[in-house]
Every structure is written in structure tokens, then in C-alpha cells.
Chain A
């Protein structure tokens, strides 16, 4: 959490144990809201942000216009730097954040991202599944794992479409005790294409890109990296059901405000996001994206982010 020390001192409170509820309910946006999307137009983060923007407008959750602005570059670092430089205390600015923004400073130490903003709410979790091509002889993750373990080290090729996929493969490799060979592609779509072409044997990826392929019978899903099966894929068991003790692995997506924003505005945006994730439109979006509902706010969200940070650093072999 990032309490705004300056305003607290100005009020002579010294410490800010309890947020002032009356004040928290009092603040409202006083001009058009700028919704900063630190990723390029057309990507997953951009789509999600634009859906949230549409919900905010359609359901009249925010009394002013919400204008999405893309500030892409550097795995979120450019957008965050923009917010920190020119919107540091502006309560009329919100930012889309996700797991990638958290990974960037781990990989690129001079880039700062989440430390520049104040996370407000988590809105969804992207799930991961193990996929193989339809002609793969193994029908379960357990059989696949046994074969991978028996094969020489690094002879089983996994296509990955980004750092998040690489971490998922690391989780799986550790759970089954095999050294897997990772071939990195620029996007999940490219990794999927390589899987369909038989250039890699397996992909651990988001269900979104694979649903059509599953329905068309081009690929097969062998296991889920979470505790429960998907309602849309009742036949695909979890890893744990198959005796593979893989940690749950999901990617979060959420909303933040600039680092210097006061508690009143933070409380306002928390309330708005609570309403957003409760709407029908949002639930429909999650269903279409085969993603998990996981609303988290305030201290819960901060604690979750801390746990994720530890997990990512450990999986990427980059301790703090």
C-alpha cells in the first residue's frame, strides 16, 4: 500500500490508521478520466481495458467520460513511467496492470512499473492448460509426464509465447522432475502455430487461443493448472487429479491509480471496480475468454501481489 504521507501530515494526523469514510465517499471525478493502457492497441490487455471502459460508461458507474489512452512499450514500463511523470497525484487517472507489468522489472532492473502506481483491484485470472497436438500418443498429463521423464533431458520441446508461458513450463517441469526444452515465440498465436506444425510437442497456454482448436479437434488439452476443472471443459482433469503436484499457476489482470493518489479517490475507484466486476457484461466477457473470476481489493490484492512477486522471482531464477 502507498499511503499518501504528504496529505496525511498536512491534516496533522501523523498516522492514518482508518480511512476517513466520509471523505472517501465524497470524492468524485472532477473531469474526464484518462484510462492509461500501458500496452499496444489490439492486445489482450487493451481489449480488457476497453471492455471495462465500456462497462463504466454503459452502466453509468462513472459520471464523466472515460478515455482510453495507449502508452505501449517496454512491457508496461513506458506507460507506468508516463503516469509517474505527469499524473502522479491525479485521481482522474486509472491504469490497466497485469502480470506482465510485474515481470518487467524482474527481467529489466532499470524499469519500474508496479512500484509507481497504487493497485486498486484484481478483475480476472488467466488460466493455463497443457496442450498437445491431436495426434500425440498421450491422452493424459500423467502419461505425457511419464514419457517426458523417461526421455533424455531437454528432448521434449515446449513452445512458449512469452515470459508467463515460460514460468508455467518451469512449474510443470519441476512438478514432474524432467528438464524440458523451451522454444520461445513472440506470442501465444505463434506458439500455437508451431504446435500445429509439429515443430514443438507441447504448449502450456491460455485457453482463449486454443478453444477453437480444441473444438475443431486439432489439439488436445491434457491438464489444468488450477484446483477445479473448467465448466466449458469438463473432461479435462486438473494436474493434481492426475497425481502431478504442480502449483496452481494463473496470471492476474487488474486496475491501479497513480502512486500519489489520496485515499478518498482510491476508495472511490475501489467501489467502482466492485460494481464493474459484478455486472453481467463483465461475467460474459470472462466466460468468452475462459478466464477465472477473482475479484480482489485493497489489502487482499496487495498481499496477493506480494506472493506473486516472490513466485515469479523464484520461477525466473532472479531473486530480489
Chain B
């Protein structure tokens, strides 16, 4: 590989004042849209597109990519501080991150998230630099049967998220069922629209998460808002012990995120779920999860950033979108006269390497920006909750509305806010529900596509080695805990 001289040329291109400014502007904007629930990086890029027509493609690509990975940093902020996930990929962060904030450790949570994101973003960029083409070829081997088996593996993990297996399963299946709402992607039949045109696209993920996690938390927290002690802000930065606990979750999260990000049909959201589940499974004491375990912040935060870099792999080395946001970036590149194809790395080498260099710079900017911000924003929680929660509701309404400029989504916010309150009140895990909603369309589409390919023959799932291997992993993940349960004969583990 002669990556080094090309990277140096990339740095020369990325370090021109104009491009540094673009990079800074991009990560700053990404940070802002990441914080705001409902507005994601793809919307921000599309809105900026007409303004950027005059730019040269390199500057524009640096800007857009900056928005993309910057938003993964920003989404963490609201997840940790007020339990409102700013991005769909930061839902898992809000579980343990918010608990840490309640314990006065918001600074540590935000700090470790920033550090983890920086490490993962940098590692992801290095991965993009060194192994993108071969990795992209491998990703192509993932067809419908492989995606089906991957989702099965994810579904097995679904019940592992919460505190009660049975309640978690109910919530998970409810999420799966919600995911079947709207126009069926295979044959176009409208399902469970209850005669409402606005339900033809089903329920948007971010609407459900903001309602369950954001509004639900406010409703369950406001009862004793006045009596609630103001969290003492301690540990503005992560301690040595935090770092010891987090370093391996960050490393694992980076790898998991990058690999899942490379697969075109899966992205940062699923990567963060997988990272969380892996950390919980590997933890010596899984019962700490959900009560403020820093590993539950470090792993998912690393993985969603690595996934953002991973999603650029198929885009740059194959010219196909690796996620919803990269699809928008691809569309934008065409408008700038760049035709994304299989040879971007050679035909557009200067563009690609400038982008890679800018990502290394941008992640550094984000780290420098976010470490002081972590301490600063952590102090926000010194404001008494009785002053804090009304604006949180207002933010939820504004964010949910702006997701699709739809008043009906605000109805869903109120309805699912009530559900979220009840679930939290009676200790029903909510993460399996949102996980079910994400996995449901992927599961159904992959299953039906596979069976269409095989004309109804179900052996397609085991006849292909990659798919069979994934199914075997799923079976193991299901059987090993059951077997150990039977071995120990201790029903305590069910709780």
C-alpha cells in the first residue's frame, strides 16, 4: 500500500484555510443538528445543498462528512443530560448515560463519550484508509439471506437488554409489530394505517424514542421535581477508574461499529445496540447496566462513530450508499459533477484522500471542542429539575414536529409518552421496543427477499455458509444461557 504519500497529499489538500474552515463548519453544524432531536445529518446536508452549489466538490464533501460524523458526537449530549436521544444512534447512550447524570457524573459520561468517539472515529478512518476495498468486497457477499440471519442474531439479543426477560420480550415483540405498520415494502399493501394517510409510512423511529425516553422520563420524573436533589456535579472529566473500565469497550465498540457500518443495510443505530449488548454480556456484573455503567456509554458511543466511518467504505470504494446519510452525500456528489463508482479511490484519489485527512482533523476538532463542553454542559444539571423539565417537553415537541413537519407525529409523542411513563413506572424495559422497531422492517424484507430468491425454499438460510454461520451464532447465543440456567437451576437469573 502506498497509502502514506497519498495521505500526505490529502493533508496538504485538507489543510488549506478554506477546507479547514469547511471541516470546522461541518463538525460544528453536525454537533448542533446532533443535539436537536428530529433533525438528523441527512436533513442538514440536504438543506445545505443548494447553498453549496458554488463550492468545489472536495470542500463540499469535507463539509458533508463533517456534519455526518459530527452529529454522532452531538446526539450524546441530550441523551446523557435529559434522556432525549438527539440521534437514533444515541438511544442506548441515554440508558446508562442518563443514570450517570442523575448520579452527578454527567461530565464523566460526556467525557468518556467524547474520548471514545474520538478514538473510534480515528480508528474507523484508519480502517477506511487501509482496508476499504477488500472490506467492501466482503460486504457485497451479504445478500438477503445473510441479512436475515444477522437480524435473527440481533433479535436473540433483544431480550437481554432489560431487567426482566419476559417484560423485555413483550416490549420487543410490540416493537416488531409496530414496525409492520405502513406500506408493505414488498408488495405495496397498506397495513395498520387505520384509515390514516399519515400512518402510511409507519411510525418513525426518532418519534418513538423521543416519546418513550424523553417525554416518558419527564412524566415519571416531574412528580417529585421540587424534592429532587440537584445532582452534585462531580468528576467533570472521567477518572482513571472510568478509563480503565472503558478502554476495552471503546476498542470493541470501534470494531463492532466499523464492521456493521460497512454493511450497506445496517448502520450506526444497530451498531450501537450491538455494542451495548456485547458489553452487557461480557460484563462481570451485568446487573450494573441500566444503573449508570460507564461501559454502557463507552461501547455504544464508540460504535456509532466507527459506524459513520464504516458507512463511507462502500460509498468510496464501490460507489453505493452505506447508509441513509451517505445516500444523500452520494446524490450531492453527482450534483457536483463527481460520478461515484467503483474506482473512486483511483479516479478521484485526491478527493478521497483529502476527505480522509479531513476526517482525522475533524475528529480532533470535535475532541478539543467536546472535552471542555462536557464539563460545561454537565453544569446544566445544577439547574433544579422543576425549572428544567418544562423546556425539555418543549424541545421534544419541536424536535418531533420538525422530523417530518407533521402535527400527527406530535400526537404520537403524547401517546407514546404516556406509554413510556407507564413502562418506566412499572419497570418494563423500553430499549427492546425501539430495537424491535428498527429490526422489524429489516427482518421482514430480508426474509421475504430470500424466499423470493429461492422460490419459497427455506434451506437458502442454511445453504449459504455465511448465513449458516450467523444462524449458528444465534443458536449459541440462545442456548448457552439457557443451558447454564438449567445447569445452575437457579431461577434467580430470570429476574
Contacts and interface: CB of A to CB of B under 8 A. Distances in A.
> Do any CB atoms of chain A lie under 8 A from CB atoms of chain B in the complex?
yes
Contact of B200 (A69, A75, A163, A194): A75
B406 A42 contact: no
Contacts of A213: 319, 341-342
B455 A74 contact: no
Given A193-B140, A213-B342, A289-B334, A187 B327 contact: yes
Given A46-B46, A183-B449, A289-B334, A74 B321 contact: no
Contacts of A218: 318-319, 341-342
Interface in A95-148: 107-108, 110-111
Interface in A173-201: 181-187, 189-190, 192-194, 196-200
Contact of B341 (A157, A183, A212): A212
A261 B44 CA distance: 33
B197 interface: yes
Contacts, number: 159
Nearest to A44: B331
Interface residues of A, number: 57
29 contacts: A41-B47, A42-B42, A42-B43, A42-B46, A42-B327, A42-B331, A43-B331, A47-B46, A50-B46, A73-B201, A73-B404, A74-B199, A107-B188, A110-B193, A181-B455, A186-B445, A187-B327, A193-B264, A196-B140, A196-B318, A198-B143, A212-B340, A213-B342, A215-B341, A215-B347, A216-B342, A216-B343, A218-B319, A218-B342
Contacts of B43: 41-42
Given A41-B46, A183-B452, A288-B335, A190 B265 contact: yes
A111 B189 CA distance: 12
A215 B46 CA distance: 26
Interface of A: 40-44, 46-47, 50-51, 53-54, 69-75, 77-78, 81, 107-108, 110-111, 154, 157, 163, 181-187, 189-190, 192-194, 196-200, 208, 211-218, 285, 288-289
A43 B347 CA distance: 26
Interface residues of B, number: 57
Nearest to A153: B455
A50 B197 contact: no
B141 interface: yes
Given A51-B50, A193-B140, 10 more contacts: A47-B49, A71-B406, A77-B200, A108-B183, A111-B197, A181-B452, A185-B449, A196-B140, A198-B143, A200-B453
A54 B185 CA distance: 33
B201 A70 contact: no
Q: Which of A44, A108, A196, A212 has the most CB of B within 10 A?
A: A212
B200 A111 contact: yes
A190 B195 contact: no
